Structure 1
Amino acid sequence: MARANDEVEALLREYADLLAITGGGAFKQRAYERAARAVGGHPGDIGALDAGGLREIPGVGASIADKIEEYLRTGRVPAVEKARSSVPPGVRALLDVPTLGPKKAMTLYRELGVSSVDALAAAVREDRLAGLAGFGPKARENLERGLAVLHASGGRIALDVALGVAEETVAALGAAPGVTRCAYAGSVRRMRETIGDVDVLAAADDPEPVMAAFVALPLVAEVVARGTKKTTVRTVDGLQIDLRVLGEESWGAGMIYFTGSKAHNVRLREIALRRGLKLSEYGLFDAKSGRRRAAGDEEEVYRRLGLSWVAPTLREDRGEIEAAGRDALPRLVTEADLRGDLHSHTDLTDGVAPLTEMVAAAARRGLRYYAVTDHAPDLRMQRMTLEKARAQREELRQLADRHGRLKLLHGTELNIDPEGNVDWPAEVLAEFEVCVASLHSHFDLDRDAQTRRLLRACENPHVHIIGHPTTRKFGRRGGVDVDLDAVFAACARTGTALEINSHPNRLDLNDAHVLRARQHGVRFSVDSDAHAPAHLGHVRYGVAQAQRGWLTPDDVINTWPLTRLRRFLRGGR
């Protein structure tokens, strides 16, 4: 079931959207967006808090706290319901279309009666936007691109959401009668960036009690199909979960089969056939006699096929079979390898927690070093100044005395302008220990212009890391049009690291880009881009993409000891 934090975060985001559509004021809208981030990132269960406790969450003021308390107590907020009544339901759905803002969404409804994404697609296709103020050729092109991005998501959901459901299901079924093992498989286990459905496996002699426990889970809204070996349900949020029950003796083969990918499994079956064997979800059998040769654990099955065990994140038929045959698979980077985090924010700009709380959270995670990189002044809505940055630096130095083991680095996230320049001059940039440079605007520049601006940022000697390099956000924005191979080559040449941004709505760079960049000899930084203490845990998703890109600890600069990292940051790369 959804946490109270998640429900309230969704409610506050909805209200912020409704305020944007109805013209409720930009300041008020941003306040609710900020509160939504704060609630979503709060580590404790807000369901146990009263209005006073809610007001202690950074970013949650008295008025918002009262609304949250009212929702937790009654399940409704009159102010939100009033706003809903003034906006047709389909108009808010239009905001899911990248490039379409609230004012234009309302214009489309009032002028053309467009109240759904399908109706918008038809209006664009039939050229009914022609002559509508604010919807010239460029706007139509942007809408077509936005609709394509939305369509490409295909109803798939973000990894963090699917993983949460998978872990909740496994924890519940692991305690069911007769279950000896339970785990998730499929694309969730391979940690793909988006997920279509969730596969769960359980080992038990009698499947019936397991199936009964499964369909009775609180998160189940509908039983799609129920059988003795497989049952399919749909959750209250519309996610499909497939449960398969098999015998303990088939566990290893079953985990390989249902983890996939399909292409990886096809290669395994081909190898089995060449060895006179047959591989299925029940085991590895002699093709002639039918005798089971291996099945109980994955390592045994791979070994019988002449292969090293392949980590699930590599099972995409991208060379892992050949490497496993040579015992040449890399030692993949893990979350435990990360010594530090080099990209995070506080409430000095768009974070929701003060510096002290972010530093304390980093210390609790056992990090050895931690960089605070609030936004630079060219992102004007954040109201950063050099004076504020220098004051933060002094505060960070004072905090360092309280966290002896955790070394604190003062950094900044710079804005790359259309020409490739960044916010501050060289003498100011030299004051910062870590400079992350990112694209935050002008996403519609052509390929040559986008490439030039990123190349220039890479060549800036004060820029250490290019943050979220493609700028994509799932379901909201596709990546910029850029010659990534030229950028990868420039990063390798200049010694500039590329970020794997771990926020589950970004995962930027993605695994395919990481594979390509690695071939150029690029170094990487796996960062949380945390805007709240709980967000520091996002690195698990970034590490997964790094693994899918075949990265080792040596490829990732924030696995390095601080002395080596400082040498890199000083330009000795």
Structure 2
Amino acid sequence: MARPNEEVEALLQEYADLIAITGGDAFKARAYEKAARAIGGHPADISRLDADGLKEIPNVGRSIAEKVVEYLRTGTMAVVEERRAKIPAGVRELITIPTLGPKKAMRLYEDLHISSVNELAAAIEADALADLKGFGEKTQENLRHGIELMQRAGGRIPLSLAMETAEEIVAELSAVTGCRRCAYAGSLRRMKETIGDLDVLVAANRSAPFMEALCALPATAEVIAQGTKKTSIRTGKGLQVDLRVLPPDSWGAGLQYFTGSKAHNIRTRTIAVHQGLKLSEYGLFDAESGESLASRTEEEVYARLGLPWIPPTLREDRGEIEAALHGELPEVVTERDIRGDLHTHTDLTDGLAPLETMVEAAAERGYTYYAVTDHAPNLYMQRMTDEKILAQREQLRELDGTLGRMRLLHGTELNIGPDGEVDWPDDFLAGFDLCVASLHSHFDLNRKAMTRRLVRACENPHVNVIGHPSTRLIGKRPGVDADWDEVFAACARTGTALEVNAQPDRLDLRDEDILRAREHGVKFAVNTDAHSVLHLAQLRYGVATAQRGWLTKEDVINTWTLTRLRRFLRRSGRA
């Protein structure tokens, strides 16, 4: 069910990895990585393009375009197959471990004949890597942690991939004759950062047409079980989908029950029992008479229990029941509340689209304001200069006010150095409308040094937002080790916002940390960190994470009016 763009992106990225494993040209590997990102972020369906059309995509030259056409025509890419044949499958498995690069994976295979994640884990425990050059104690600890990350993720898939699959299935089943309602439930509806199985519900009088339709979908690779009340299939991407068909009158109760979480449902069922009631997926019933008291909508089920409707993103038994009983449930921020994006990139650095294209796409989203924040010079591979950023500022000022009501802000994403220093001197930073500061390297500093580094960045009067604060990549890289309560206190003290980064592989800060930071009085910015037009739509995942952290409009600075936002940014006397 992936777009052809995403299939080709994955294949080109694999080819880049295979080049690196075999000791090939590093520049060639980098070229394929860039092409992979560009194709993955291209808004149009590449399967409709010929080689000339593909060459119009940034970083896609004639050779790569021809290989893509070959794949789209035949389903294979000869150069990838040739490289795969030269490299043991076990080595390709090893490079999926966070922190293990292709060269070290090949050395493990050649020197110690290690060809699986389990074999590597056993070798580390047996101290078999001690004499292998480049695999010192620190490296082994990183590998051990990377394996733990993989094992913890298990068969779970990213939120965005599950959402794409769910929305396609819901659309297909909604079109089946007799469908009254159709929706996804479970952890996806609660917008957890990774998803195990996908729960889909249908309200209808007859179940058979829907069970048959699910089994017949192009995405269905395997039918696990097919019945009258529940059918389970597995997609080609390995995601299990469980479909349940409910009587229309039971829709609300079923949606509440199958949304979960388990802990939340235990609390609601306990409330029901104390009131002499019984709550199930079919409705809320009088325990003695069996009379149905509420079932058609979630709102009436919660109301009959004496509760307001609780947003699915809050249903984790983290105090939402108590807050609801005391009338203190937060009115969480929604996507409609976001007035602008404060962290985005263009092709001036590592983005895929030019400034005008990104700005036009933002205006189409109805934003009140929009910030362009390309990387600063200390992230050397981006080759930023004073002249380039000042020229961009002029270009942005010319565009400002030309796209309806949307105003443009010129910012930058600064790099937080090992000691908390940032790019550019104070007098140059004073020219920006806002500055996002982020960690991009030196992730292995000890807790004390990392805390000091982040606090110093917060204390810089030109830094308005700390971007993707923990730097984690879900399932690939853990967050940095810091005394987060000290960092949160510094943010509150200095008036520095923390970002909720909406990129599905980041979702950083994570919801648990948002809850803690909020207690310190921290303000937040929900941003996409967009590197392409398509990324702007990922805002939904950042907003959902903010909801899971109980954030309201008051907590999120980019829900504020431009006047109020500028006052917040002006704390250094700059904006």
State the TM bucket, normalised to the shorter chain: over 0.9
Aligned length: 573
Match of 2:460 in 1: 460
Q: Within 2, Cα distance between the matches of 1:563 and 1:325?
A: 36
Give the alignment of 1:466-477 within 5 angstroms: 466-477=466-477
Give the alignment of 1:333-412 within 5 angstroms: 333-400=333-400, 402-412=402-412
Q: Residue 222 of structure 1 aligns to a residue in which SS? A: strand
Q: Within 1, Cα distance between the matches of 2:193 and 2:77?
A: 34
The question of 1:512 aligning with 2:512 is answered yes
The question of 1:420 aligning with 2:420 is answered yes
Q: What do the CA deviations read for 1:64-90 (whole angstroms, capped 9, x no partner)? A: 212111111111211222222222222
Match of 1:232 in 2: 232
Q: Within 2, Cα distance between the matches of 1:223 and 1:310?
A: 34
Q: What do the CA deviations read for 1:148-192 (whole angstroms, capped 9, x no partner)? A: 222221221110001111111111111113211110000000000
Q: Within 2, Cα distance between the matches of 1:366 and 1:225?
A: 45
Q: What do the CA deviations read for 1:10-44 (whole angstroms, capped 9, x no partner)? A: 11111111122122223222222222222222222
Match of 2:132 in 1: 132
Q: Residue 374 of structure 1 aligns to a residue in which SS? A: strand
Match of 1:273 in 2: 273
Q: Which letter maps to 2:485?
A: D
Q: Within 2, Cα distance between the matches of 1:402 and 1:114?
A: 60
Q: Within 2, Cα distance between the matches of 1:277 and 1:537?
A: 43
The question of 1:122 aligning with 2:152 is answered no
Q: After the TM superposition, which of the residue ranges 432-441 and 326-335 deviates more from structure 2?
A: 326-335
Q: Within 2, Cα distance between the matches of 1:406 and 1:20?
A: 44
Q: Within 2, Cα distance between the matches of 1:469 and 1:176?
A: 45
Q: Residue 18 of structure 1 aligns to a residue in which SS? A: helix
Could you tell me whether the CA contact under 8 Å between 1:504 and 1:538 is conserved in 2?
yes
Q: Which letter maps to 2:98?
A: P
Q: Residue 403 of structure 1 aligns to a residue in which SS? A: coil
Could you tell me whether the CA contact under 8 Å between 2:461 and 2:572 is conserved in 1?
no
Q: Which letter maps to 2:188?
A: V
Q: After the TM superposition, which of the residue ranges 508-517 and 78-87 deviates more from structure 2?
A: 78-87
Q: What do the CA deviations read for 1:345-374 (whole angstroms, capped 9, x no partner)? A: 111111111112111211121112111111
Q: Within 2, Cα distance between the matches of 1:526 and 1:418?
A: 25
Q: Residue 474 of structure 2 aligns to a residue in which SS? A: coil
Q: Within 2, Cα distance between the matches of 1:29 and 1:414?
A: 27
Q: Within 2, Cα distance between the matches of 1:494 and 1:572?
A: 10
Residue 404 of structure 1: CA displacement? Answer: 4.2
Q: What do the CA deviations read for 1:305-354 (whole angstroms, capped 9, x no partner)? A: 00000011110111111122233222111111111101111111111111
Q: Within 2, Cα distance between the matches of 1:60 and 1:354?
A: 16
Q: Residue 571 of structure 2 aligns to a residue in which SS? A: coil
Q: Which letter maps to 1:253?
A: A
Match of 2:145 in 1: 145
Gapped runs of 5+ residues in structure 2?
none
Match of 1:112 in 2: 112
Give the alignment of 1:317-336 within 5 angstroms: 317-336=317-336
Could you tell me whether the CA contact under 8 Å between 1:93 and 1:116 is conserved in 2?
yes
Residue 409 of structure 1: CA displacement? Answer: 1.1
Match of 1:290 in 2: 290
Q: Which letter maps to 1:447?
A: R
Residue 401 of structure 1: CA displacement? Answer: 5.1
* Off by >3 Å, runs of 4+ in structure 1: none
Could you tell me whether the CA contact under 8 Å between 2:170 and 2:184 is conserved in 1?
yes
Q: Within 1, Cα distance between the matches of 2:423 and 2:334?
A: 34
Q: Residue 570 of structure 1 aligns to a residue in which SS? A: helix
Could you tell me whether the CA contact under 8 Å between 1:34 and 1:352 is conserved in 2?
no
Give the alignment of 1:546-557 within 5 angstroms: 546-557=546-557
Q: Which letter maps to 2:570?
A: R
Match of 1:222 in 2: 222
Residue 273 of structure 1: CA displacement? Answer: 0.7
Shift of the 84–303 alpha-carbon distance from structure 1 to 2, 3 Å rule, reads: same
Q: What do the CA deviations read for 1:536-564 (whole angstroms, capped 9, x no partner)? A: 11110000000111111111111111111
Residue 389 of structure 1: CA displacement? Answer: 1.0
Q: Within 2, Cα distance between the matches of 1:354 and 1:320?
A: 44
Q: Residue 347 of structure 1 aligns to a residue in which SS? A: coil
Q: What do the CA deviations read for 1:53-73 (whole angstroms, capped 9, x no partner)? A: 112222322222121111111
Q: Within 2, Cα distance between the matches of 1:293 and 1:63?
A: 67
Shift of the 388–78 alpha-carbon distance from structure 1 to 2, 3 Å rule, reads: same
Could you tell me whether the CA contact under 8 Å between 2:401 and 2:407 is conserved in 1?
no
Could you tell me whether the CA contact under 8 Å between 1:96 and 1:475 is conserved in 2?
no
Match of 1:560 in 2: 560
Match of 2:444 in 1: 444
Q: What do the CA deviations read for 1:237-290 (whole angstroms, capped 9, x no partner)? A: 110000011100100000000000001110101110111100000000000000
Residue 405 of structure 1: CA displacement? Answer: 2.1
Q: After the TM superposition, which of the residue ranges 363-372 and 460-469 deviates more from structure 2?
A: 363-372
Match of 1:65 in 2: 65
Q: Within 2, Cα distance between the matches of 1:328 and 1:127?
A: 54
Q: After the TM superposition, which of the residue ranges 58-67 and 48-57 deviates more from structure 2?
A: 58-67
Could you tell me whether the CA contact under 8 Å between 2:251 and 2:295 is conserved in 1?
yes
Q: Residue 52 of structure 2 aligns to a residue in which SS? A: helix
Q: Which letter maps to 1:77?
A: M
Match of 1:262 in 2: 262
Q: What do the CA deviations read for 1:197-224 (whole angstroms, capped 9, x no partner)? A: 1000001111111111111111110111
Gapped runs of 5+ residues in structure 1?
none
Match of 1:18 in 2: 18
Residue 572 of structure 1: CA displacement? Answer: 7.2
- RMSD over aligned Cα atoms: 1.2
Could you tell me whether the CA contact under 8 Å between 1:189 and 1:259 is conserved in 2?
yes
Q: Within 2, Cα distance between the matches of 1:388 and 1:92?
A: 40
